[in-house]
Amino acid sequence: MKVWLDGQLVDEGDACLSVFDHGVLYGDGVFEGIRAYGRKVFQCQAHIDRLFDSAKEIRLAIPYTKQELIEVTYETLAANDITDGYVRLVVTRGAGTLGLSPFKCPTPAVYIIADQIALYPPEMYEKGMAVIIAKTLRTSASMLKPSIKSLNYLNNILAKIEAIDAGVAEAIMLNAKGNVSECTGDNIFIVKDSGLLTPPAEAGILLGITRAVVLKLAGRLGLPVAEQNIRTEDLYEADECFLTGTAAEVISVTKIDGRTVGGGQPGPITQKLLESFRKFIRSDEA
């Protein structure tokens, strides 16, 4: 595998960061997970824009232009002969001192990995997945802006451990108000009375790129959509539930905390949106 690191493609084994990199020491950096379909980077501009927005929020100056990063993302895909795959674009604060000050890190590090990813097995897309509601609460939006896609994912990892301990693949995270926020790596939707509900930004969610595409597709299908607070009881009483994310795409949830959602199988609206999404990713619009 070839990894693009600070201006050049290097072998995977030679793609190294300093042990003094603040991304390693403190999770000080930002990233994007991006899909490629048919050698085309999915929603490329949206991902690059979000990367730069995240970096701006933490006062991290990315040493490349947006266009340069787009070009080297394609270069990395080509170097690894990837037609359909996954890209991880990372910007760290760079090497500095053992102190917290980010201003002692003169040069950010930038690297791009292009590989394959299968977050969930194929049978889960056919039959749906089971999830739990985690005891770990989502970090409050008043503490850390959820719009910042940072390298510090410990909050999500703790909830993910709960899911693994429970024998399921994913966990739903609540915020301090008891409202649904998001999952450890995905946004969440429920279907009630043929309409879609999904948590709003103020619930502490990352505004996912795939989430935005699904909202657009729902509008085209004439499905009513509301961004509003969702309670635990709303999850249990939902007709359907599904998750969205770059790696997950669109996947049905058929059990929450051992309780069956709807008919216990992927519902018609979820299936319709998944079909529309799969057509969209192969379109010129993607």
Non-local (6+) Cβ contacts of 65 within 8 A are none
Tokens of 54: 């995240």
Non-local (6+) Cβ contacts of 47 within 8 A are 32, 34, 41, 89, 209
177 is catalytic: no
Continuous segment of H or E residues that includes residue 51: helix 44-57
Vertex 254 angle, CA 248 and 256, to 5° = 95
Q: Which sign does the torsion angle of CA 72, 74, 78, 83 carry?
A: positive
- Point out the catalytic residue in the list 2, 127, 149, 255: 149
Rounded distance between C-alpha atoms, residue 103 and residue 89, angstroms: 22
Query: Which residues does the annotation mark as catalytic?
Result: 149
